[in-house]
Amino acid sequence: MKKVFVDTNILIRALTNDHPILSKNARKFLEESLKTSQLCTTDCVIAECIYVLSSKTIGYRLDRKRVVKVLGDFILLTDIDFPSKPLVWEALNIYTNENVDLCDILLFLSAKREGAQVFSFDNDVKRLGNRCS
């Protein structure tokens, strides 16, 4: 089965249905691709989707639980593949309940899995160490 990599803008348009033409085209592309291809993306695209959906300044202003629900349902429904899927699932669970950026959570979890330390000036990362160790 061939692989098709999907960018943030396609996912956002399909998830939000916020544009009459682009959203329709994104959904059609995804539906047709699912018939013949394995949908793929990158961890970075997933993180960017979360940022755009939750951003109060440039995005859709969804709360964390809604972002995780919308994106999580899409991931399950399409079985979209990306490199660190188990790690991202774990990060999404933490993201739902902690006021910490997803990238900081991914950094912390990656280091934890490797038995490594994280060096950061960011207090959120330090707080994660105290809560998730």
130 and 100 Cβ atoms separated by less than 8 Å:
no
pLDDT (tens digit per residue) in 13-42: 999 999 999 999 999 999 999 999 999 999
pLDDT at 94: 94
Fill in the DSSP letter of residue 79.
T
Same domain, 60 and 114: no
Tell me the pLDDT of the chain averaged across its residues: 92
Q: pLDDT confidence of 117, banded at 50, 70, 90?
A: confident
Same domain, 57 and 6: yes
Same domain, 44 and 99: no
The closest of 20, 43, 23 to 9, measured between CA atoms, is 23
DSSP 38-103: EEE--HHHHHHHHHHHH-SSSS----HHHHHHHHHHHHHHHT-B-TTHHHHHHHHHHHHHS-S-HH
Same domain, 74 and 88: no
- pLDDT score of 129 more than 90: no
pLDDT at 32: 95
Q: pLDDT confidence of 119, banded at 50, 70, 90?
A: confident
The proportion of the chain whose per-residue pLDDT surpasses 70, expressed as a percent, equals 97
What is the domain count for the chain?
2
Encoded amino acid at 111, one letter: A
Within a 13 Å sphere around the CA of 130, how many CA atoms are in the beta-carbon half? 6
116 φ, ψ (degrees, to nearest 5):
-110, 170
Tell me the residue range of the domain where 123 lies: 84-133
State the CATH number of the domain containing residue 17. 3.40.50.1010
**Residue ending a domain, choose from 60, 83, 106:** 83
Q: pLDDT confidence of 131, banded at 50, 70, 90?
A: low
